[in-house]
Amino acid sequence: MVKLITVAVSQYGKLDVIINNAGIARLNRIDELDIDGWDEMININIKGVLYGMAAAIPVFKKQQSGHIINIISTSGLKIVPTQDIYAGIKNAIRTITEAFRQESDGSIRISGISPGFIKKDFAIKSVNTEESNTISVKYRFIYRQKVNSYSVKSLSAIQKTNHYCLNSVAIL
Protein backbone atom coordinates (compact mmCIF):
# COMPACT_ATOMS: atom_id res chain seq x y z
CA MET A 1 0.00 0.00 0.00
CA VAL A 2 2.86 2.38 0.80
CA LYS A 3 4.34 1.75 -2.67
CA LEU A 4 1.00 2.52 -4.33
CA ILE A 5 0.67 5.79 -2.44
CA THR A 6 4.30 6.71 -3.17
CA VAL A 7 3.68 6.20 -6.90
CA ALA A 8 0.46 8.25 -6.76
CA VAL A 9 2.19 11.14 -4.96
CA SER A 10 5.18 11.10 -7.31
CA GLN A 11 2.93 11.03 -10.38
CA TYR A 12 0.25 13.53 -9.26
CA GLY A 13 2.11 15.63 -6.69
CA LYS A 14 -0.17 14.84 -3.76
CA LEU A 15 -2.72 12.43 -2.35
CA ASP A 16 -6.25 13.74 -1.90
CA VAL A 17 -8.15 10.67 -0.78
CA ILE A 18 -7.79 6.99 0.06
CA ILE A 19 -10.80 4.70 -0.08
CA ASN A 20 -10.37 1.53 1.96
CA ASN A 21 -12.78 -0.88 0.30
CA ALA A 22 -11.21 -4.34 0.39
CA GLY A 23 -13.18 -6.92 2.26
CA ILE A 24 -14.43 -10.46 2.38
CA ALA A 25 -17.18 -12.24 4.28
CA ARG A 26 -17.44 -15.81 5.40
CA LEU A 27 -21.16 -16.22 5.92
CA ASN A 28 -21.96 -18.93 8.41
CA ARG A 29 -23.22 -19.55 11.90
CA ILE A 30 -20.90 -19.00 14.85
CA ASP A 31 -21.39 -22.60 16.00
CA GLU A 32 -19.93 -23.84 12.69
CA LEU A 33 -16.61 -22.62 14.15
CA ASP A 34 -15.01 -21.41 10.93
CA ILE A 35 -11.95 -20.13 12.80
CA ASP A 36 -9.87 -19.95 9.62
CA GLY A 37 -12.60 -17.81 8.08
CA TRP A 38 -12.63 -15.52 11.12
CA ASP A 39 -8.86 -15.06 10.84
CA GLU A 40 -9.14 -14.38 7.12
CA MET A 41 -11.81 -11.70 7.67
CA ILE A 42 -9.81 -10.05 10.45
CA ASN A 43 -6.63 -10.06 8.37
CA ILE A 44 -8.29 -8.54 5.30
CA ASN A 45 -11.18 -6.45 6.65
CA ILE A 46 -9.57 -4.89 9.74
CA LYS A 47 -5.87 -4.99 8.96
CA GLY A 48 -6.50 -3.91 5.35
CA VAL A 49 -8.17 -0.72 6.56
CA LEU A 50 -5.47 -0.10 9.16
CA TYR A 51 -2.68 -0.65 6.62
CA GLY A 52 -4.40 1.69 4.17
CA MET A 53 -4.72 4.34 6.86
CA ALA A 54 -1.11 3.80 7.96
CA ALA A 55 0.12 4.30 4.40
CA ALA A 56 -1.90 7.49 3.83
CA ILE A 57 -1.69 9.27 7.20
CA PRO A 58 2.01 10.27 6.98
CA VAL A 59 1.40 11.77 3.53
CA PHE A 60 -1.75 13.55 4.71
CA LYS A 61 0.08 14.91 7.79
CA LYS A 62 2.88 16.27 5.62
CA GLN A 63 0.34 17.90 3.25
CA GLN A 64 -1.84 19.12 6.14
CA SER A 65 -4.83 17.69 4.27
CA GLY A 66 -6.39 14.50 3.03
CA HIS A 67 -9.49 12.36 3.30
CA ILE A 68 -9.81 8.74 4.40
CA ILE A 69 -13.00 6.96 3.39
CA ASN A 70 -13.58 3.58 5.01
CA ILE A 71 -16.23 1.40 3.45
CA ILE A 72 -18.05 -0.30 6.30
CA SER A 73 -21.41 -2.12 5.89
CA THR A 74 -24.98 -1.93 7.05
CA SER A 75 -24.40 -5.48 8.34
CA GLY A 76 -23.00 -3.87 11.46
CA LEU A 77 -26.20 -1.85 11.90
CA LYS A 78 -28.72 -4.65 11.39
CA ILE A 79 -27.44 -7.99 12.58
CA VAL A 80 -28.72 -11.05 10.72
CA PRO A 81 -27.91 -14.76 11.05
CA THR A 82 -24.73 -15.94 9.32
CA GLN A 83 -23.28 -12.42 9.23
CA ASP A 84 -22.46 -12.24 12.93
CA ILE A 85 -18.64 -12.27 12.80
CA TYR A 86 -18.62 -10.17 9.62
CA ALA A 87 -20.92 -7.62 11.30
CA GLY A 88 -18.68 -7.49 14.37
CA ILE A 89 -15.64 -6.86 12.21
CA LYS A 90 -17.44 -4.12 10.29
CA ASN A 91 -18.39 -2.54 13.62
CA ALA A 92 -14.69 -2.55 14.48
CA ILE A 93 -14.07 -0.50 11.31
CA ARG A 94 -16.89 1.86 12.32
CA THR A 95 -15.23 2.29 15.75
CA ILE A 96 -11.76 2.84 14.25
CA THR A 97 -13.21 5.44 11.86
CA GLU A 98 -15.01 7.34 14.61
CA ALA A 99 -12.02 7.17 16.97
CA PHE A 100 -9.71 8.64 14.32
CA ARG A 101 -12.26 11.37 13.57
CA GLN A 102 -12.27 12.36 17.24
CA GLU A 103 -8.47 12.22 17.47
CA SER A 104 -7.83 14.19 14.28
CA ASP A 105 -7.09 17.90 14.38
CA GLY A 106 -9.36 18.29 11.34
CA SER A 107 -6.63 18.51 8.72
CA ILE A 108 -7.23 14.85 7.88
CA ARG A 109 -10.89 14.08 7.30
CA ILE A 110 -12.36 10.60 7.69
CA SER A 111 -15.72 9.22 6.65
CA GLY A 112 -17.42 5.86 6.95
CA ILE A 113 -19.79 4.70 4.25
CA SER A 114 -22.04 1.73 5.00
CA PRO A 115 -23.59 0.36 1.82
CA GLY A 116 -26.38 -2.16 2.03
CA PHE A 117 -25.88 -5.58 0.50
CA ILE A 118 -24.40 -5.34 -2.97
CA LYS A 119 -23.45 -8.27 -5.15
CA LYS A 120 -19.95 -9.38 -4.28
CA ASP A 121 -18.16 -12.68 -4.52
CA PHE A 122 -17.99 -12.93 -0.73
CA ALA A 123 -21.45 -14.53 -0.52
CA ILE A 124 -19.93 -17.61 -2.14
CA LYS A 125 -17.47 -18.00 0.77
CA SER A 126 -20.03 -19.55 3.08
CA VAL A 127 -19.33 -22.92 4.67
CA ASN A 128 -22.96 -23.78 3.97
CA THR A 129 -23.25 -23.83 0.14
CA GLU A 130 -27.07 -23.92 0.03
CA GLU A 131 -27.25 -20.88 2.31
CA SER A 132 -24.64 -19.06 0.22
CA ASN A 133 -26.58 -19.68 -3.01
CA THR A 134 -29.78 -18.41 -1.40
CA ILE A 135 -28.07 -15.21 -0.26
CA SER A 136 -26.49 -14.62 -3.69
CA VAL A 137 -29.78 -15.05 -5.55
CA LYS A 138 -31.87 -13.13 -3.01
CA TYR A 139 -29.77 -9.97 -3.25
CA ARG A 140 -28.71 -10.07 -6.92
CA PHE A 141 -31.55 -7.73 -7.96
CA ILE A 142 -30.36 -5.02 -5.53
CA TYR A 143 -26.95 -4.72 -7.17
CA ARG A 144 -27.57 -1.97 -9.74
CA GLN A 145 -29.48 0.33 -7.40
CA LYS A 146 -26.90 0.05 -4.63
CA VAL A 147 -23.83 0.59 -6.78
CA ASN A 148 -25.22 3.82 -8.24
CA SER A 149 -26.23 5.15 -4.83
CA TYR A 150 -22.94 4.02 -3.31
CA SER A 151 -20.91 5.84 -5.98
CA VAL A 152 -22.85 9.08 -5.52
CA LYS A 153 -22.41 8.99 -1.74
CA SER A 154 -18.66 8.32 -2.06
CA LEU A 155 -18.24 11.22 -4.48
CA SER A 156 -20.29 13.51 -2.25
CA ALA A 157 -18.09 12.68 0.75
CA ILE A 158 -14.91 13.40 -1.22
CA GLN A 159 -16.09 16.69 -2.73
CA LYS A 160 -16.86 18.49 0.52
CA THR A 161 -14.66 21.45 1.38
CA ASN A 162 -11.93 21.17 4.00
CA HIS A 163 -14.26 22.92 6.46
CA TYR A 164 -16.84 20.15 6.28
CA CYS A 165 -16.61 16.39 6.63
CA LEU A 166 -19.34 13.86 6.05
CA ASN A 167 -18.71 11.48 8.96
CA SER A 168 -21.00 8.58 8.24
CA VAL A 169 -23.44 7.49 5.55
CA ALA A 170 -25.64 4.39 5.53
CA ILE A 171 -27.06 3.34 2.17
CA LEU A 172 -30.02 1.09 2.87
pLDDT tens-digit map of 102-146: 999 989 999 888 877 655 554 445 555 555 444 444 443 334 344
d(CA 34, CA 55): 31
- Full set of structural domains in the chain with CATH: 2-171 (3.40.50.720)
Residues of the chain with confidence (pLDDT) below 50: 122-124, 132-148, 163-164, 172
Whole-model pTM: value is: 0.75
Kindly list the catalytic residues: 86
Spell out the residues 6+ positions from residue 37 whose beta carbon is closer than 8 angstroms to its own.
26, 28, 85, 125, 127
For CA atoms 41, 29, 144, 170, give the dihedral sign.
negative
Residue 123 confidence (pLDDT): 46
